[in-house]
Amino acid sequence: MASTAHAHPNYIKIFIILSVLTAVEIGVTFLGLPRPLLVALLVGLAVWKAALVALHFMHLKIEKTTLTIVAVIPFILCVFLSLMLLPDIYPR
Amino acid sequence: MSEAVAVHGAVEPAETPLTPESWGKLGMWLFLAGDAMSFGGLIVAYGALRYHSKSWPVPAEVLGINLTALMTFLLIVSSVTMVLGLAALQDGDKPRFKKFMGLTILGGAIFLGLQAYEWTHLIGHTLPHYKLDFSTDLFATTFFVLTGFHGMHVSGGVIYNICVLAAVSRGRYQAKHVEIAGLYWHFVDLVWILIFTFVYLL
């Protein structure tokens, strides 16, 4: 267990970015943007924030590739699930 | 376990995909992957039902954003205190770790308190002609299932973190155990980020 002089990621920087992105998310809901643009923006911001948490707080950026593969699989499957439901949803 | 660590220390494989230290993390990641699909299923179901419904309330009007924005911020802060605690323990600074871990637990507990406040508020009185309880409509049902499932995860996380803090204090857990607990806690934060967007903002 020789873990002296650990180089830690700059967590405070990530925290500030996450806070700013949260403020931006709430801000864009008041802009009165067209619905598709708003949905795209909010989903994009949410995925960005989630990626920041996974990469920096959960250390995927400096972690073994195997763990990243494990983490990405459910994300792909959930996108796949949404796409499979589209034919059911689209015609209303 | 100490045997495995000793073997690793002696051999130090440079390019193997996983070292023995990673096994605990791998286990947690596999659990989280399964858990992520549970949440994914619920969120996708929410979206599909919403798109199919003739009428769906505007969530921001029914739920209000201010309190939830505060809850989101609170979970992000508790994630930061968790990583700062882990960093302190990796540097061998146990008192600093205890301080930050205590703050993490406090953040989770306040989150749960706010959610309990939100729920009782919603069930009691929402809007003049719209009362939100579990069986009001599809929105209400999916809302309570999603936030409830997440709230259960936060409760579990707070208990888990208390146990980890106690075990580190008694010298039974080291930084690697805290890192695994951190994975769970950050996952709960990550899911809330998505729920905040999909259920409250959209």
Supply the ipTM of this predicted assembly. 0.87
Reduced to 3 states, what is the DSSP secondary structure of residue A10?
coil
Same domain for A69 and A41?
no
In B47-106, the residues whose Cβ lies within 8 Å of chain A are 47-48, 51-52, 60, 65, 69, 72-73, 76-77, 79-80, 82-84, 87, 90-92
Task: Give the pLDDT confidence of B145-185 residue by residue, as tens digits.
Answer: 999 999 999 999 999 999 999 999 999 999 999 999 999 99
**Is CATH 3.40.50.300 correct for B19-201?**
no
Burial-class residue B140 by CB neighbours within 10 Å (0-12, 13-18, 19+).
buried
Same domain for A52 and A69?
no
> Cβ separation of B80 and A15 shorter than 8 Å?
yes
B116: contact with A, CB 8 A cutoff: no
**B127 φ/ψ angles, rounded to the nearest 5 degrees:** -125, 165
The answer to whether residue A82 is domain-embedded is yes
The answer to whether residue A29 is domain-embedded is yes
So what's the pLDDT on residue B34?
94
User: At B114, is the pLDDT very low, low, confident or very high (cuts 50, 70, 90)?
Assistant: very high
B196: contact with A, CB 8 A cutoff: yes
Instruction: Determine the structural domain holding residue A77 and report its residue range.
Output: 63-92
- Find out whether B111 and B26 touch, Cβ atoms under 8 Å: no
The position carrying tokens 């619920």 is B42
So what's the pLDDT on residue A4?
47
Same domain for A44 and A82?
no
Reduced to 3 states, what is the DSSP secondary structure of residue B108?
helix
DSSP letter for B127, please: B
Mean pLDDT score, A51-59: 92
Q: At residue A52, does pLDDT exceed 90?
A: yes
Same domain for A71 and A45?
no
Q: At residue B63, does pLDDT exceed 60?
A: yes
Same domain for A34 and A67?
no
To the nearest whole percent, how much of chain A has pLDDT over 70?
90
Q: How many domains does chain A have?
A: 2
CB atoms within 10 A of CB B188: 24
> Cβ separation of B51 and A89 shorter than 8 Å?
yes
User: At A60, is the pLDDT very low, low, confident or very high (cuts 50, 70, 90)?
Assistant: confident
User: At A3, is the pLDDT very low, low, confident or very high (cuts 50, 70, 90)?
Assistant: very low
User: At A90, is the pLDDT very low, low, confident or very high (cuts 50, 70, 90)?
Assistant: low
So what's the pLDDT on residue B127?
64
So what's the pLDDT on residue B16?
54
Task: Give the pLDDT confidence of B36-59 residue by residue, as tens digits.
Answer: 999 999 999 998 888 888 888 888
Structural domain boundaries in chain B: 19-201
The answer to whether residue A17 is domain-embedded is yes
Q: Which residues contact B163 (CB under 8 A, 6 or more apart)?
A: none
Global pTM value: 0.87
